[in-house]
Structure 1
Amino acid sequence: MGKILVGTASWTDKSLLDSGWYPPEARTPETRLAYYASRFPLVEVDATYYHPPARRTAELWCARTPAGFTFNVKAFSLLTQHPTRPAALHKDLREALGGDPKRPRYQRDLPPEIVEEVWDRFLSALAPLHEAGKLGALLFQFPPWFPPGEGSRRYLVRCRDRCRPMRICVEFRNAAWMDAEHRAGTLDFLAAHDLPYVCVDMPQGHPSSVPPVLAATSDLAVVRLHGHSEKWTSRIIEERFGYLYDEEELRSWATRIAELSGRAETTHVITNNCCADNSQRNAARLAELLA
């Protein structure tokens, strides 16, 4: 069995802060991150999908966590071909872009030089984490309109190469990548290009639903658990992720994750049912079961 790290997505969302999970003395960003890092060895940063990170923020993350702590960081929306609000870009890039500041833009809508600058600044800001050995992987979560095909495969390799020496992991939200026709080819392609596949447990039957296929396509395997909320399409975060895995579900996942870890050097497990302290409770119990 390889090494297994269990953590949660985010440590600062409002419902978690309101849940009472943090002790009364953990009232600042510094003390909260320090407390979180005393409980878990891994965390996923999702805020970077909405806004590019600042280098100073990454430096503070390094300073506030112990040696060996790991951050997985979600890639900025523009880099994964999602629509992005110009307001999320750096001020000078936003001004250079011009046009309607409220109209979301896709990567294809922007001049190549601005796209390259977004890449440069995103990766440069995370350099302190990489240099400190605390950056696990950059999570590239692709949208439902990113289907299997030659163009998509080329872009996956470009993302891998653009991020080096940082590494990426790949999550799909188009079920065709994992259907009977494409699954073997998808996994073979990822393995051939040393791209870790991200297995996601999520509600099924939606346009973004991908079956939870556990696969090791690199020395790193990643599992993300979103839960099975009946309100998955809700815009209210607490409803969308308002799910608590029960003991039977956690035991089942622990068995499957343990088996997966036998095929990878390191396995990252992220609970992303971020409503109140659901994610922290499930991650803690899952870590116990895996131990």
Structure 2
Amino acid sequence: MGEILVGACSWTDRALVGSGWYPPGWRDAEGRLRHYAGQFSVVEVDSAYYALPSERNSLLWSQRTPDGFVFDVKAFSLLTGHPTRDAALPADLRGRTGRGVSDAGLLDEVWARFASALEPLRRADRLGTVLFQFPPWFAPGARSETFLRECAARTAGWPLAVEFRHPGWWQEGLYDRTAGLLAELGTSAVAVDMVQTLRTSVPPVTPVPSPELAVVRFHGRNEAWGTGSKEDRFRHTYADGELAEWVPRVARMAGHAKRVHVLFNNCCADAAVRAAEAMRRLLADEGLTVR
């Protein structure tokens, strides 16, 4: 039975910082991370989706966290086919996205800088996985499979996890093909909890194509998922009953993978960290190995 690491999808979210969860004296950058790492064993770096991370920050993160703590780093938007603001690029690379990512090797350069930024985490054994969250229009098909293979080739040797936002990947009839493709590529799959009443709702399936790692991300169950602001989309306080639905699912995942990461993305005030605390308690009550 694998071990289960539980945490949140950010430790720097403005709403969390303002919620009072961090104690006085621990609210600067170093203090926040040290406090968070004293409570949980995994965190997602969601900021890497919006702007390329830096080697300096990765080094500081590795120095400010204890052995055994890991970071799941979200891939930069350009690397997953999402629209990317020109301002999100380093200054010397701006002005080129409008002409396509192939312009003068822009995509190659972004990949190289992203990889370089993660090296301090890799060297310190702090890199849990790199999360590739693909957009809702990334539908099953030959073109998408080719793109996945390219991503896997560029990340050879990295721990990699894939989250699909198009529900078709995990629907009946394609589930086995999707799981088989990820197993062939040596990548982990991300299971999701989200509202199930939308056309774009991803079903709560729990594939484990990699024996090394499985990931679950809890997005909340807000009906405004597809239309509202960030706060609207992610505003949800998980009840114990909702979390309990996932206890046997996570247990099954831990039966097939050496490690399971359970991460909460309902980042409004302290809702994510409180849900993580509750989930850790529920899993431990079932005798599972949780930290």
Query: 1:255, CA displacement in angstroms?
Result: 2.1
Aligned to 2:258: 265
Say which of 166, 169, 182 aligns to 1:174.
Answer: 166
CA distance in 1 between counterparts of 2:104 and 2:177 reads 31
Query: 1:13, CA displacement in angstroms?
Result: 1.0
Q: After superposition, where does 1:168-247 map in structure 2 within 5 Å?
A: 168-219=160-211, 220-247=213-240
Aligned-partner residue type, residue 186 of structure 1: T
Query: 1:192, CA displacement in angstroms?
Result: 2.3
Structure 1: 4+ residue segments shifted above 3 A: 205-208
Which residues of structure 2 form unaligned runs of 5+? 285-291
TM-score, length of structure 1 as denominator length? 0.93
Indicate yes or no: 2:94 matched with 1:94: yes
Aligned-partner residue type, residue 163 of structure 1: T
- Relative to 1, partners in 2 of residues 1:113 and 1:230: Cα closer, same or farther, differing over 3 Å? same
The question of whether the paired residues in 2 share the 8 Å contact of 1:160 and 1:167 is answered with no
Query: 1:105, CA displacement in angstroms?
Result: 4.8
Indicate yes or no: 2:49 matched with 1:49: yes
The question of whether the paired residues in 1 share the 8 Å contact of 2:214 and 2:261 is answered with yes
Aligned-partner residue type, residue 167 of structure 1: P
The question of whether the paired residues in 1 share the 8 Å contact of 2:197 and 2:223 is answered with no
- Relative to 1, partners in 2 of residues 1:181 and 1:112: Cα closer, same or farther, differing over 3 Å? farther
Q: After superposition, where does 1:1-291 map in structure 2 within 5 Å?
A: 1-95=1-95, 97=96, 105=98, 108-111=100-103, 113-219=105-211, 220-291=213-284
- Relative to 1, partners in 2 of residues 1:248 and 1:132: Cα closer, same or farther, differing over 3 Å? same
CA distance in 2 between counterparts of 1:161 and 1:239 reads 37
**Residue-by-residue CA offset, 1:67-121 (whole Å, 9 max, x unaligned):** 11100000000000001011111111115x2xxxxxx759x54416111000000
TM-score, length of structure 2 as denominator length? 0.93
- Relative to 1, partners in 2 of residues 1:258 and 1:131: Cα closer, same or farther, differing over 3 Å? same
Structure 1 window deviating more from structure 2 (69-78 vs 181-190): it is: 181-190
CA distance in 1 between counterparts of 2:174 and 2:275 reads 32
CA distance in 1 between counterparts of 2:34 and 2:256 reads 32
* Root mean square deviation, CA, Å: 1.5
CA distance in 1 between counterparts of 2:84 and 2:46 reads 15
The question of whether the paired residues in 2 share the 8 Å contact of 1:6 and 1:269 is answered with yes
Q: Helix, strand or coil: the match of 1:53?
A: coil
The question of whether the paired residues in 1 share the 8 Å contact of 2:2 and 2:260 is answered with yes
Identity %: 48
Question: How many residues are paired up?
Answer: 283
Q: Helix, strand or coil: the match of 1:126?
A: helix
Query: 1:205, CA displacement in angstroms?
Result: 3.9
CA distance in 2 between counterparts of 1:109 and 1:61 reads 30
Q: Helix, strand or coil: the match of 2:4?
A: strand
